[in-house]
Chain A
């Protein structure tokens, strides 16, 4: 009897041990969602219990956010910048990663090290001089500055991740194709890339997430309401002096995370595998 019960007891205890971690991870999101759905009357009642909604939920904060602020413009900017930066970086990263993983040529070793080093360079190290470069190029206060600068951290990242994937594709498969008369580019396009699709999906997901989450470049290079991204818009334009704005602010934070959450729900396993493959930032 005792023997039959103990594995179950052990398993239950394990789950109990996980509860604090799960609470820690989830509570902020729960509280943000709750806040965004509460009526102001309850939200700012200091005697109310903050952990539940008693007086009925409301969507007025969301309605205000969408009608009275430029939130949709910011989201559109975010989508545009993220899509273009991700696409360009994936393309540049794929060919560079293939060269690093497969080809022998002058300087390949030092280029690999260079990619690794830039992969570790934090964005906060270079935002001041980059702001100058952006101004010289006439891209001050323009979302195109972000399309231009995001690849500086996305390309090293994609290259590094994809290089690992390309190395796992057996060389023989490619050589077979080339013996049969395919050129190297054809072999890459028709043989290697189809095998490396999981890696490409992974790189695209992480690049998308990294550029959607990017903050300091967006905050520094853009400022007007028509150009800023969702993160910057919500953190800077929704905060006005002493007026109570928490419902709207939390609604903005929630909606601004929606695209990432959607991707996350569908591609959770890619996130896990990409993270362990060295997706660090």
Chain B
């Protein structure tokens, strides 16, 4: 080893090409760019460029297999005149708002339970996390079957327990029930992420704080509101921001469960954009719909960079 280093430092005559390359690669100003080039190329060609294309499409009358023309913001005007889009816009906020709220509340509750001394701790964690790792499209098929209009096991159980009147709701065929169904599945699938992340933050809270509070006579409630919740805030902020963007942009659950129906009452931007852009071929309009996800993305990135990362570093 040492011999080779001497060779590089005291080269006899002109160093060999391999040695010169090695010398270059040892310089941070060269190795850095070399290391990031593959990732950079990929992101430029397959993320940044498609994004610009989406912008152009949204301002054009692009249609599958036809040359497109620039038409300004006509797509956006047309969208606001369409009932389907206005319904979708409203759905996106209802769906995301309710789902994220439930995931936060249930996530905190579940994390508090998991943070206690438990039997079979590892097994319980494994079960809790399971919905999050199974392919969503496939597990949603299971929910589709559970909400089936004739054989719904949800309704069977509800009737058996006396909570529902036979035959029970037609979950996927009625407006509000269908929305409730997609929200339930989204909560089911997203809850593990909330619970496990919040649990990690709970574990990090120093025990002394609770002991001191207890010594001062603070009850369990007071300890939760004055110690646990304030200390969870940074993590909750990250989790809620991440979840907001991925709930807004959800596709799989709605596509498998309802295809946006009945009468557009569960369409989200992604599912409507697919129907318009792929099924009917109006790429321009489809791109305009999916671009509505962009302001949400900008907001989340801005909030993350401004508040959350400042706290983290």
When the two chains form their complex, are residues A118 and B291 in contact, meaning their CB atoms are under 8 A apart? no
B133 at the binding interface (Cβ < 8 Å): yes
Q: Could you tell me the distance between the alpha carbons of A15 and B114 in the complex, rounded to whole angstroms? A: 9
Q: Could you tell me the distance between the alpha carbons of A123 and B245 in the complex, rounded to whole angstroms? A: 11
When the two chains form their complex, are residues A29 and B130 in contact, meaning their CB atoms are under 8 A apart? yes
Q: Which residues of chain A have C-beta atoms less than 8 A from B40's C-beta?
A: 111, 114
A18, A32, A50, A124: which contacts B249 (Cβ < 8 A)?
A124
When the two chains form their complex, are residues A111 and B5 in contact, meaning their CB atoms are under 8 A apart? no
When the two chains form their complex, are residues A250 and B141 in contact, meaning their CB atoms are under 8 A apart? yes
Question: B261-300 CB contact bits vs A (8 Å, 1 = yes)?
Answer: 0000000011001100110000100110011011001001
Which 8 pairs between the two chains have the least Cβ-Cβ distance?
A105-B32, A122-B249, A124-B270, A129-B53, A99-B35, A276-B200, A103-B32, A129-B50
B131 at the binding interface (Cβ < 8 Å): yes
Q: Could you tell me the distance between the alpha carbons of A130 and B43 in the complex, rounded to whole angstroms? A: 12
Q: Which residues of chain A have C-beta atoms less than 8 A from B199's C-beta?
A: 276
B5, B54, B135, B157: which contacts A215 (Cβ < 8 A)?
B135
When the two chains form their complex, are residues A122 and B196 in contact, meaning their CB atoms are under 8 A apart? no
B134 at the binding interface (Cβ < 8 Å): yes
When the two chains form their complex, are residues B29 and A105 in contact, meaning their CB atoms are under 8 A apart? yes
A63 at the binding interface (Cβ < 8 Å): no
B33 at the binding interface (Cβ < 8 Å): yes
B22, B119, B151: which contacts A46 (Cβ < 8 A)?
B151
| B61 CB to nearest chain A CB (Å) | 14
21 examples of A-B residue contacts, CB within 8 angstroms: A17-B113, A21-B110, A28-B188, A44-B151, A116-B304, A122-B297, A124-B270, A126-B290, A128-B277, A128-B278, A128-B286, A129-B57, A149-B46, A152-B43, A152-B46, A184-B31, A209-B133, A234-B141, A253-B141, A264-B126, A275-B197
A92, A181, A276: which contacts B42 (Cβ < 8 A)?
A92
CB neighbors of A among B220-277 (8 A): 242, 245-246, 248-252, 255-256, 269-270, 273-274, 277
Q: Could you tell me the distance between the alpha carbons of A134 and B239 in the complex, rounded to whole angstroms? A: 33
When the two chains form their complex, are residues A121 and B47 in contact, meaning their CB atoms are under 8 A apart? yes
Q: Which residues of chain B have C-beta atoms less than 8 A from A232's C-beta?
A: 137
When the two chains form their complex, are residues B142 and A29 in contact, meaning their CB atoms are under 8 A apart? yes
When the two chains form their complex, are residues A235 and B301 in contact, meaning their CB atoms are under 8 A apart? no
Q: Which residues of chain B have C-beta atoms less than 8 A from A116's C-beta?
A: 301, 304-305
Q: Which residues of chain B have C-beta atoms less than 8 A from A103's C-beta?
A: 28, 31-32, 35
When the two chains form their complex, are residues A50 and B39 in contact, meaning their CB atoms are under 8 A apart? no
In this complex, how many residues of chain B approach chain A with their Cβ under 8 Å: the count is 100
Q: Which residues of chain B have C-beta atoms less than 8 A from A43's C-beta?
A: 151
Q: Which residues of chain B have C-beta atoms less than 8 A from A207's C-beta?
A: none
CB neighbors of A among B138-164 (8 A): 138-139, 141-143, 145-146, 148, 150-151, 153, 156-157
Choose, from A53-61, A168-176, A191-199, A255-263, the stretch at the interface: A255-263
Q: Which residues of chain A have C-beta atoms less than 8 A from B35's C-beta?
A: 95-96, 98-99, 103
A161 at the binding interface (Cβ < 8 Å): no
Q: Could you tell me the distance between the alpha carbons of A99 and B27 in the complex, rounded to whole angstroms? A: 12
When the two chains form their complex, are residues A280 and B36 in contact, meaning their CB atoms are under 8 A apart? no
Q: Is the interface of B mostly helix, strand, loop or mixed?
A: helix
When the two chains form their complex, are residues B249 and A125 in contact, meaning their CB atoms are under 8 A apart? yes
In this complex, how many residues of chain A approach chain B with their Cβ under 8 Å: the count is 99
A31, A117, A231: which contacts B301 (Cβ < 8 A)?
A117
When the two chains form their complex, are residues A148 and B46 in contact, meaning their CB atoms are under 8 A apart? yes
| B19 CB to nearest chain A CB (Å) | 11
A111, A151, A256, A268: which contacts B125 (Cβ < 8 A)?
A268
| B144 CB to nearest chain A CB (Å) | 9
B51 at the binding interface (Cβ < 8 Å): yes
Question: A207-232 CB contact bits vs B (8 Å, 1 = yes)?
Answer: 00100110110011000000000111
When the two chains form their complex, are residues A125 and B290 in contact, meaning their CB atoms are under 8 A apart? yes
Q: Which residues of chain B have C-beta atoms less than 8 A from A216's C-beta?
A: 251-252, 255, 270, 274
Question: A32-56 CB contact bits vs B (8 Å, 1 = yes)?
Answer: 1001000000011010011100000
A2 at the binding interface (Cβ < 8 Å): no
A50, A125, A252: which contacts B291 (Cβ < 8 A)?
A125
When the two chains form their complex, are residues A100 and B293 in contact, meaning their CB atoms are under 8 A apart? no
B311 at the binding interface (Cβ < 8 Å): no
When the two chains form their complex, are residues A212 and B135 in contact, meaning their CB atoms are under 8 A apart? yes
Q: Could you tell me the distance between the alpha carbons of A155 and B36 in the complex, rounded to whole angstroms? A: 11
A127, A159, A184: which contacts B39 (Cβ < 8 A)?
A159
B180 at the binding interface (Cβ < 8 Å): no
